[in-house]
Chain A
Amino acid sequence: MLLHDTGLIYGRYLRQTLRSRFAMLFGALMPLLYLLFFGPLLTGLPLGGQGSSWQVLVPGLLLQLGLFGALFAGFMVILENGAGVVERMRVTPVSRLALLLGRVLRDATVFVFQAVLVVLVALVMGLRAPVPGVLIGFGFVALLTVSLASLSYAVAMKVRTPQEFGPLVNAVSLPSMLLSGLMLPMSLAPAWLDVLSHFVPFRYLVDAMRDAYLGEYATAHMLYGALVAVGFTALAVTVGTRVFRTAGA
């Protein structure tokens, strides 16, 4: 039943996305601009790790794509709430978990698709990375978007207006980006900043993904990254489902 329901909700929202293909490509615009106009600045800089600057930058850009994109996913639920769509679905016997999963899997599909685009352009710009590492990277992007989109929907069901939702998302996204070392590795940071960044879960994903892009899979970074990604996803999906079950108060 859960599978049937999730597939149904996923299909509905995927068709909705496919109706606006332009928006789908537009989402990849920010990381592409970073690649084109920011990436070349790093090629000669000492970034403190092995590999090329592209192996440092591209994993960060892909997670940034997921971070900003998925955090804003909730806007759709605010619109749908206004039209009564969410309530209409909640009075059917459809599984509450599926109401969330169908939506976040659609989001993961969209962001992984955009991530593939970004990697293709990065290859042209000069990225060289092992295929398994790149595929692992897409896995991290998928988990990040599933978890963040779940939380975003949960918050959107609670606050209900774009006026409240927008500033809240901004307040979370920018510090998360800066503190997780998405743009430049935290190995460059002074000790206090490095310590602070360890309190941001995305830090572990970035570190793990950079290792993957270097072809190093059996590292402590990878273990922590995988644990944090899976744990955070489980937590976020639980919170999100609870909101879809009880919302309306």
Chain B
Amino acid sequence: MPAVISAAGLARTFTTKRGPVEAVRGIDLTVHEGEILGFLGPNGAGKTTTLRMLTTLLKPTGGTATVAGHDLATDPVGVRRASGYVAQSGGVDPQISVREELVTQGRMYRLGKSEALARAGELARDLDLTDLLDRPCGALSGGQRRRLDIAMALTHRPRVLFLDEPTTGLDPGSRADLWDLVRRLRDEQGTTVFLTTHYLDEADALADRLVVVDQGTVAAEGTPGALKLRYGGSLDATLQDTFLAITGRRPAPADAAPVAV
């Protein structure tokens, strides 16, 4: 499978009053076309910073990366055209109507007026927002808001969709709906999905492959099964124990000596 995202030594150091802070120390990763990649890591591990670099919001201070064949440093506009991004906070104005936000978004991706209007209707149908088109964005429920955020990011049919903690704060029903939506996107459109999450059940259920980052570097990567086997001790290990073993927050239980002989 061809790589749609590849990063080598991607790094970002922030200069603060108290000296330099290395948020991301050098991330190497490859994401294949049509893959759902779960990007995990403890708070402060550098997940969002990495995502912000891959979406051109933040300039890397080291390393290189390409997204859909476009180099982050030399062709940021190409990267923007090929990718959609849903930030943790979403990104719609609560006072503006759903329809207006969707249409303006289409126009920002250089669609004509009538095309943008048609695309807004299409997205609303696909993401079950048709009845909400004339409501102000601020009047939507959490789950509806998330669907709108994703609709906004899908306006230009991106090859890669970046989701930053997409199900945080959603009720279980809305989370299950969102999982179905992500799977459908991949299965029907072949969209590559790069998502960060703190919910390990989400990573387990949704992701084809996981990349675990810790302290700004990749600590482990592989399919959920492979990681469980390697770090958790067996395929039956929970992803929770596997995650804790990888990030070293708890002693690794796996290869410890048997309790009794």
| Chain A interface residues toward B at CB < 8 A | 1, 4-5, 8, 12, 15-16, 19, 80, 82-85, 87-94, 246, 248-249
> Which of chain A's residues have a CB closer than 8 A to the CB of B6?
none
Q: Judging by beta carbons under 8 Å apart, are A91 and B56 in contact?
A: yes
The one of B57, B100, B110 in contact with A87, judged by C-beta atoms closer than 8 angstroms, is B57
Q: Judging by beta carbons under 8 Å apart, are A83 and B93 in contact?
A: yes
Q: Judging by beta carbons under 8 Å apart, are A93 and B90 in contact?
A: no
28 A-B residue pairs with CB within 8 Å: A1-B110, A8-B108, A12-B96, A15-B100, A16-B93, A16-B96, A80-B93, A82-B89, A83-B90, A83-B93, A83-B94, A84-B88, A84-B89, A84-B91, A87-B57, A88-B85, A88-B87, A88-B92, A89-B91, A89-B108, A90-B56, A91-B83, A91-B84, A91-B85, A93-B109, A94-B108, A248-B58, A249-B14
**Nearest A residue to B155, CB-CB:** A92
- B187 CB to closest chain A CB, in angstroms? 25
- A228 CB to closest chain B CB, in angstroms? 34
**Nearest A residue to B94, CB-CB:** A83
The one of B52, B80, B107 in contact with A248, judged by C-beta atoms closer than 8 angstroms, is B52
Give a binary string over B86-125; 1 marks a CB under 8 Å from any A CB, 0 the rest: 0111111111100010001101111000000000000000
> Which of chain B's residues have a CB closer than 8 A to the CB of A87?
57, 85, 87, 91
- A79 CB to closest chain B CB, in angstroms? 9
- A182 CB to closest chain B CB, in angstroms? 33
Q: State the 6 A-B residue pairs at the shortest beta-carbon distance, nearest first.
A: A88-B91, A84-B89, A84-B91, A92-B108, A91-B85, A94-B108
**Nearest B residue to A13, CB-CB:** B93
Q: Judging by beta carbons under 8 Å apart, are B59 and A19 in contact?
A: no
Q: Judging by beta carbons under 8 Å apart, are A19 and B95 in contact?
A: yes
**Nearest A residue to B91, CB-CB:** A88
> Which of chain B's residues have a CB closer than 8 A to the CB of A91?
55-57, 80, 83-85
**Nearest A residue to B76, CB-CB:** A93
Complex alpha-carbon distance, A94 and B77, angstroms = 9
> Which of chain B's residues have a CB closer than 8 A to the CB of A19?
95
Is B152 in the interface zone, CB < 8 Å from A? Answer: yes
Q: Judging by beta carbons under 8 Å apart, are B93 and A85 in contact?
A: yes
Given contacts A8-B104, A12-B104, A88-B92, could you give 5 more A-B pairs where the C-beta distance is less than 8 Å? Answer: A1-B110, A12-B96, A84-B90, A88-B87, A93-B80
- B212 CB to closest chain A CB, in angstroms? 25
Is B81 in the interface zone, CB < 8 Å from A? Answer: yes
> Which of chain A's residues have a CB closer than 8 A to the CB of B108?
5, 8, 89, 92-94
Q: Judging by beta carbons under 8 Å apart, are A93 and B77 in contact?
A: yes
**Nearest B residue to A98, CB-CB:** B108
Complex alpha-carbon distance, A85 and B94, angstroms = 10
Complex alpha-carbon distance, A178 and B38, angstroms = 57
- A98 CB to closest chain B CB, in angstroms? 9
> Which of chain A's residues have a CB closer than 8 A to the CB of B90?
83-84, 88
> Which of chain A's residues have a CB closer than 8 A to the CB of B57?
87, 90-91, 248
Q: Judging by beta carbons under 8 Å apart, are B92 and A83 in contact?
A: yes
The one of B14, B52, B88, B110 in contact with A93, judged by C-beta atoms closer than 8 angstroms, is B110
> Which of chain B's residues have a CB closer than 8 A to the CB of A249?
14, 58-59
Q: Judging by beta carbons under 8 Å apart, are A92 and B91 in contact?
A: no
> Which of chain A's residues have a CB closer than 8 A to the CB of B81?
93
> Which of chain A's residues have a CB closer than 8 A to the CB of B100?
15
Complex alpha-carbon distance, A90 and B83, angstroms = 12
**Contact A83-B104, Cβ < 8 Å, known A93-B110, A248-B58:** no
Complex alpha-carbon distance, A15 and B77, angstroms = 27
Q: Judging by beta carbons under 8 Å apart, are B95 and A16 in contact?
A: yes
> Which of chain A's residues have a CB closer than 8 A to the CB of B80?
91-93
> Which of chain B's residues have a CB closer than 8 A to the CB of A92?
80, 105, 108-109
Q: Judging by beta carbons under 8 Å apart, are A83 and B110 in contact?
A: no
> Which of chain A's residues have a CB closer than 8 A to the CB of B105?
92
- B254 CB to closest chain A CB, in angstroms? 40
Complex alpha-carbon distance, A92 and B78, angstroms = 10
- A222 CB to closest chain B CB, in angstroms? 40
Complex alpha-carbon distance, A249 and B14, angstroms = 7
